[in-house]
Structure 1
Amino acid sequence: MTKTLVQEPLATPASASMSGPSSAPLSAWQSPWVRGWIALVAVVLAVNILMVTLAFVTSPGLVVEDYYERGRAMEEAIRSRADVADDRMLAVDIPADLTAGQGAMLRFFVVDKAGQPVRPDAVTLFAYRPSDAGQDFSLPMIEEAPGRYRAEVSFPLPGLWDSLVEVTEGEAIYRLDERLHVKAR
């Protein structure tokens, strides 16, 4: 009988580790890429939940009850501005350095087309805060001289404000609006 020699392959450390008991594939949860994507999705969801919560908690209440009447008043203001261009000249003098919590003098001038001062029945200053309707206020303007009116104003908060000066002269109502920027202290 002849003996045949069968040569067995040599075991290398790499092949031993692949065929051993620890050769189970890695779980997807152990991959840093999967963990990274899950963390990213969790952060995005957390930020969205935070933003929605803040939107509900800090609602400025910009929806007004009388939106139709306000829209009509705006349309009327646009028409009166076109009418006043032919009949009256309105101007408002607003200081450039308005600061929240500090008083400032706003002046308003009204003259007819010949340049003569006009004495309307009433002049009122309205201040609207676009981001918070609870801060809106109005003041009657005091006559300094014929056609020249003033109001001492103190804006409670910094930021953008819309001012509207309303002039009532008999049945006619004229309006002049300006956007104001109030600085923080």
Structure 2
Amino acid sequence: MIKPWYKQFWPWFLIALPGTVVVASLFTFSLFSKNQVSLVAEDYYKQGKGINQDLTRLRKADELNISAFLSADQEKATFSLDKGELTQFPTLRVTFQHRTLADKDIEKMVNADASGNYRIALTEPLQGPWYIELNAFDGTWALNGRANFPSSDPIKLYGSSKE
């Protein structure tokens, strides 16, 4: 006596193979749609033209002998600025850019305390590779550097020349 097809092993096995592929592809699609990575900027041409402006601001920081050190722990990031030829400690726009996760980027305006240090409270600890940029509030000069966190040593931020 022959069993009907729906009670046999092989038809269900053959149906299960493409079924698992469909389920796995739907899972993969939902996973990648929730965790998008924004590596390419839509205005890449405009950003490319802006590189030359950044270089002039970095050179201006070198002319003024400005440099900075960054120390970061779990709760805060502290910048100590060597103001060089500046007469006072200026207000700074500090930017932390993550290499691949744009939603983790941090941009803040900060003022110096009495000892010339700039402090930023962090909502979460810095982990992995970051690009750090310090800009004068008026945009006349800039310092930048790359860091891999956590770091026990202070990170030096430069103008256009590396010492």
Please name the residue that 1:180 is paired with: 147
TM-score, structure 1 normalization? 0.53
Q: Which amino acid aligns with 1:109?
A: L
- Deviation (angstroms), 1:90: 2.3
Please tell me the root mean square deviation across aligned C-alpha atoms, in Å: 3.1
Q: How does 1:31-180 map to 2 (within 5 A)?
A: 58-95=35-72, 98=73, 102-113=74-85, 117-120=87-90, 122-145=91-114, 147-155=116-124, 158-169=127-138, 172-180=139-147
- Deviation (angstroms), 1:88: 3.8
SS of 1:173 mapped into structure 2:
coil
Please name the residue that 1:36 is paired with: none
Gaps of 5+ in 1: 1-49
SS of 1:60 mapped into structure 2:
coil
Alpha-carbon distance change, 76 to 110 in structure 1, aligned in 2, over 3 angstroms: farther
- Deviation (angstroms), 1:89: 1.2
- Greater relative contact order (CA < 8 Å, ≥ 6 in sequence): 2
Q: Which amino acid aligns with 2:49?
A: R
- Deviation (angstroms), 1:77: 1.8
Gaps of 5+ in 2: 1-24, 151-163
Residues 117 and 147, structure 1, Cα contact 8 Å, conserved in 2: no
Q: Which amino acid aligns with 2:98?
A: R
- Deviation (angstroms), 1:83: 2.1
Alpha-carbon distance change, 69 to 118 in structure 1, aligned in 2, over 3 angstroms: farther
Residues 61 and 141, structure 2, Cα contact 8 Å, conserved in 1: yes
TM-score, structure 2 normalization? 0.59
Identity over aligned residues, as a percent?
A: 20
- Separation in structure 2 between the aligned mates of residue 71 and residue 89 of structure 1, nearest angstrom: 25
- Deviation (angstroms), 1:146: 7.4
Q: How many residues are aligned here? A: 124
Deviations 1:80-108 (A, max 9, x none): 1112211241213324xx4xxx3123114
Residues 118 and 147, structure 1, Cα contact 8 Å, conserved in 2: no
